[in-house]
């Protein structure tokens, strides 16, 4: 029996820094500890600032999902005022947010995730030459296609939001720019161009066909486009059996529009969907380098423990829903929304393949949503209502970032921010252990992963960790 301890990191090709300590026994991981070694202290900086400044400061938590942060901040401020945004403003905000989420997904797939299949360790596999040609870091043809398609798609954000990243347009009352009729046409044509990229390169088939897949078998057996190449690789490497999540899926619901959220909110477990109750959220600090006790984010505080005392091992807090871990992200979102193929996949439990499949399904579904929203723009209507932020009050802003559920909780006192707490998707997925010793979702997903003799940076671990699309700067902020 052989035992060893392994420190994996820095990970690279993740947003921010990440380090994972593994206990390995007989070629398999027996325990994992995820450490987010980067702390900036946004919540402390926000205290005492003017409430609206959250709209500018929080997006700067993350340069990849800045619109998610700004949408959450706007929602939290809107909640304090008790006012929804103007209908057309909500629509444009959804467009901005949807574009960013899709961009994040294709970036993850092409630049961050599939890159590992081009590694020399896989030489000799039937698919390796194709993976090298498509997915090699910075050189592969898929990376180029993706960077170009993404830059084109982000023209929409440029047009509606002025710039990306760190777009400023989303406000509690709506958006700052009323699109013109000309913008509407440009948005539609940009979306058509992006559809061509998806249909020629990523899916190799009409978007509707991929979005409409109904069974796990159909998704995992997909054989066209880069999605097909990934599925072929995944079948060969058994990725559908790797990286099991907790089986509980959380979604705050994506794209709040006057008629409801386009992807539903809720918590799914064992075949049944329960309504979301954010009152059940508690952030546990037992294994974080943080001072204070477990609390709901409404009452939470962020005071780093400068001594970095044991048993803490991460700057990341451990959020729990009703005391339990949950998985969040594109796959969770599709499960909670009841997409038939996602539900079918969820019956076997989440896995590396399921998470990537969830993202691919969501890319296709979001493209359809974006096209429909673009058609609903009415340039003559109001895009922003004047929303006065009360001098005192509390608010909760819930959105779905590409990587999952993102919540902002704000308290305002005397016209200034009194408390600001953020729980990011990766905070859920990469949380450390809680007081009961229960590992976070990634920590438990890694248990059982194969580690070859002499492997310092085990590939199975790379795939599992990256399948969650970690964003470490958001995690700890």
Partner 1 sequence: MAAIETFYDVMRRQGITRRSFMKYCSLTASALGLGPAFVPKIAHAMETKPRTPVIWVHGLECTCCSESFIRSAHPLAKDVVLSMISLDYDDTLMAAAGHQAEAALEDTIEKYKGNYILAVEGNPPLNEDGMYCIIGGKPFVEQLRHAAEHAKAIISWGACASYGCVQAAKPNPTRATPVHKVIIDKPIIKVPGCPPIAEVMTGVITYMLTFDRLPELDRQGRPAMFYGQRIHDKCYRRPHFDAGQFVEAWDDDNARKGYCLYKMGCKGPTTYNACSTVRWNEGVSFPIQSGHGCIGCSEDGFWDQGSFYNRVTDLTQFGVEKNADQVGMAAAGVVGAGVAVHAAVSALKAAQKKSQSQPSKEEV
- Answer whether 340's CB lies under 8 Å from 145's CB: no
User: If binding is defined by CB under 8 A, does position 57 make contact with partner 1?
Assistant: yes
| Distance (Å, whole) CA 222 – CA 215 | 11
Q: Interface mask (CB under 8 A) for partner 1, residues 70-99, using x and -?
A: ----------------x-------------
Part in contact with partner 1 (CB under 8 A); list of ranges 152-160, 228-236, 320-328, 405-413: 152-160
- Which of these segments, 110-118, 316-324, 422-430, 438-446, binds partner 1 (CB under 8 A)? 110-118
Count of residues interacting with partner 1 (CB under 8 A): 83
Choose, by CB under 8 A, the member of 315, 331, 428, 468 that binds partner 1: 315
Nearest Cα to 469, choosing from 112, 146, 176? 112
Single out the segment in contact with partner 1 by CB under 8 A; choices: 111-119, 208-216, 222-230, 262-270: 111-119
Shortest Å distance, C-beta 176 to partner 1: 4
Nearer to partner 1, 121 or 274 (CB): 121
Figure out which of the listed residues 24, 34, 55, 276 binds partner 1, where binding follows CB under 8 A: 55
Stretch of residues binding partner 1 (CB under 8 A), selected from 157-165, 237-245, 340-348, 354-362: 157-165
Binding residue (CB under 8 A) for partner 1 from 22, 29, 32, 62: 62
CA–CA–CA angle 401, 403, 407 (5° rounding): 50
Q: Is 454 in the site for partner 1 (CB under 8 A)?
A: no
* Contacts of partner 1 in 158-217 (CB under 8 A): 158-169, 171, 173-178
314 binds partner 1 (CB under 8 A): no
Q: Does 19 bind partner 1 (CB under 8 A)?
A: yes
CA distance 177 to 160: 6
Given the complex with partner 1, which of 147 and 435 has the nearer CB atom? 147
Distances (CA, A) of 415 to 65, 103, 221, 388, 412: 28, 36, 56, 11, 6
Gap between the Cα atoms of 302 and 44, Å rounded: 7
Q: How many CA atoms lie within 13 A of 395 on its CB side?
A: 27
- Max intra-chain CA distance, the chain: 72
Q: What is the pairing mode between strands 3-8 and 303-304? A: unpaired
Supply the minimum distance, in Å, between the C-beta of residue 386 and partner 1: 5
| Given 23, 30, 45, 371, the residue binding partner 1 (CB under 8 A) | 45
- Nearer Cβ to partner 1, position 37 or 340? 37
CA distance 412 to 395: 9
* Residue 120 Cβ vs partner 1, minimum distance, rounded to whole Å: 10
The continuous run of DSSP H or E covering 28 comes out as: strand 28-35
d(CA 383, CA 458): 50
**Out of 5, 25, 27, 63, the residue judged to bind partner 1 by CB under 8 A:** 63
CA distance 288 to 431: 9
The DSSP letter of residue 221 is T
DSSP state of 468: T
Q: Which is nearer to partner 1, 65 or 364 (CB)?
A: 65
Alpha-carbon distances of 24 from 30, 91, 97, 98, rounded to whole Å: 6, 49, 41, 40
Token duo for residue 465: 């960790």
The window from 40-48, 275-283, 322-330, 339-347 that contacts partner 1 (CB under 8 A) reads: 40-48
Residue 304 found at the interface with partner 1 (CB under 8 A): yes
Tokens of 115: 């890159």
CB of 211 to partner 1, least distance (A): 27
Site string for partner 1, 369-408 (x = CB under 8 A): -------------xxxxx----------------------
Cβ partners under 8 Å of residue 116, min gap 6: 459, 462, 463, 466
User: Of 300, 308, 250, nearest to 422 (Cα)?
Assistant: 300
244-303 positions binding partner 1, by CB under 8 A = none
């Amino acid at each position: 029996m052989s035992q060893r301890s392994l420190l994996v990191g820095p990970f690279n090709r993740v947003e921010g820094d990440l380090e994972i300590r593994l206990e390995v026994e007989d070629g398999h991981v027996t325990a994992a500890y995820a450490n987010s070694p980067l702390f900036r202290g946004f919540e402390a900086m926000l205290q005492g600032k003017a409430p609206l400044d959250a709209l500018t400061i929080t997006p700067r938590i993350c340069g990849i999902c800045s619109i998610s942060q700004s949408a959450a901040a706007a929602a939290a401020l809107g909640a304090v005022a008790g006012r929804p945004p103007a209908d057309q403003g909500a629509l444009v905000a959804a467009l901005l947010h949807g574009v960013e989420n899709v961009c994040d997904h294709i970036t993850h797939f092409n630049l961050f995730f599939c890159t590992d299949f081009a590694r020399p360790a896989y030489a000799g596999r039937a698919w390796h030459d194709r993976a090298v040609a498509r997915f090699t870091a910075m050189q592969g043809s898929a990376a180029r296609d993706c960077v170009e398609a993404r830059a084109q798609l982000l023209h929409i954000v440029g047009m509606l939001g002025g710039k990306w990243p760190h777009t400023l347009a989303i406000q509690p009352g709506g958006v700052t720019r009323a699109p013109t009729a000309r913008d509407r046409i440009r948005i539609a044509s940009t979306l058509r161009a992006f559809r061509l990229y998806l249909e020629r390169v990523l899916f190799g088939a009409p978007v509707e066909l991929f979005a409409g897949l109904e069974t796990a078998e159909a998704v995992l057996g997909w054989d066209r486009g880069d999605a097909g190449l990934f599925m072929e690789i995944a079948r060969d490497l058994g990725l559908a059996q790797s990286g099991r999540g907790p089986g509980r899926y959380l979604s705050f619901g994506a794209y709040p529009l006057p008629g409801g959220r386009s992807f539903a909110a809720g918590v799914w477990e064992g075949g049944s969907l329960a309504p979301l109750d954010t009152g059940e959220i508690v952030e546990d600090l037992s294994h974080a380098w943080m001072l204070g006790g477990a609390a709901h984010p409404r009452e939470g505080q962020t005071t780093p423990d400068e001594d970095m005392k044991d048993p803490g091992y991460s700057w990341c807090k451990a959020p729990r829903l009703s005391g339990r871990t949950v998985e969040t992200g594109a796959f969770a979102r599709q499960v909670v929304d009841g997409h038939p193929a996602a539900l079918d996949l969820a019956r076997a439990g989440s896995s590396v393949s399921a998470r990537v499949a969830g993202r691919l399904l969501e890319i296709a579904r979001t493209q359809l949503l974006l096209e429909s929203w673009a058609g609903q723009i009415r340039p003559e209507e109001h895009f922003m209502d004047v929303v006065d932020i009360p001098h005192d009050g509390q608010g909760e802003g819930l959105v779905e970032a590409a990587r999952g559920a993102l919540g902002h909780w704000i308290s305002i006192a005397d016209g200034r921010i009194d408390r600001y707490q953020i729980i990011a998707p990766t905070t859920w997925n990469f949380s450390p252990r809680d007081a009961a010793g229960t590992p976070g979702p990634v920590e438990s997903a890694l248990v059982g992963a194969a580690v070859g003799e002499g492997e310092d940076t085990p590939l199975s671990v790379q795939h599992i960790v990256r399948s969650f699309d970690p964003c470490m700067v958001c995690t700890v902020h």
